[in-house]
């Protein structure tokens, strides 16, 4: 069984859809840091404004994915010609946001493990 089929089967057993996994890429802290230095990438923090105020990644735009106007605000603020590097606290909300954005034609990359993984790796955040 090839790896893609294995992952699809595992996701199906977990009640997740494989197509959702194919809509965006998950990267680790090192990969995300490389993206942040690319001028064709917009860094998007999808946590609440309160979480963002506590700490965030340099240059990140904050649009709370839990708000009803998330897609409206995203379409107004995010250029569809750039890659959207999405993160949240642990990676769950950003994966959801990346799926929603990808459905609208955005190319998205999700930070695996979120800002928790980022901080654990000793990477800098803005207060």
Burial 69-103 (b: 16+ CB within 10 A, else e): ebbeebeeebeeeebbbbbbbebebbbbbbbbbbe
Distance of CA 124 to the CA centre of its chain: 18
Of residues 9, 19, 88, 108, which has the active-site annotation? Answer: 88
Q: Cα–Cα distance between 19 and 103 in angstroms, integer?
A: 11
- Let me know if 88 is a catalytic residue: yes
Q: Cα–Cα distance between 104 and 113 in angstroms, integer?
A: 24
Q: Which two tokens stand for residue 53?
A: 């105020």
Nearest to 46 by CA among 101, 83, 127: 101
User: Mind telling me the catalytic residues?
Assistant: 88
């Amino acid at each position: 069984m090839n790896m893609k089929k294995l992952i699809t089967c595992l996701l199906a057993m977990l009640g997740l859809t494989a197509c959702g996994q194919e809509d965006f890429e998950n990267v680790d802290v090192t990969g995300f840091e490389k993206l942040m230095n690319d001028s064709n990438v917009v860094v998007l923090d999808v946590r609440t404004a309160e979480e963002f105020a506590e700490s965030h990644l340099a240059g990140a735009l904050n649009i709370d994915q839990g708000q009803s106007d998330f897609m409206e605000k995203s379409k107004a603020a995010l250029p569809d010609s750039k890659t959207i590097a999405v993160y949240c606290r642990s990676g769950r909300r950003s994966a959801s946001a990346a799926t929603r954005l990808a459905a609208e034609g955005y190319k998205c990359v999700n930070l695996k493990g979120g800002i928790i993984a980022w901080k654990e790796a000793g990477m800098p955040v803005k207060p």
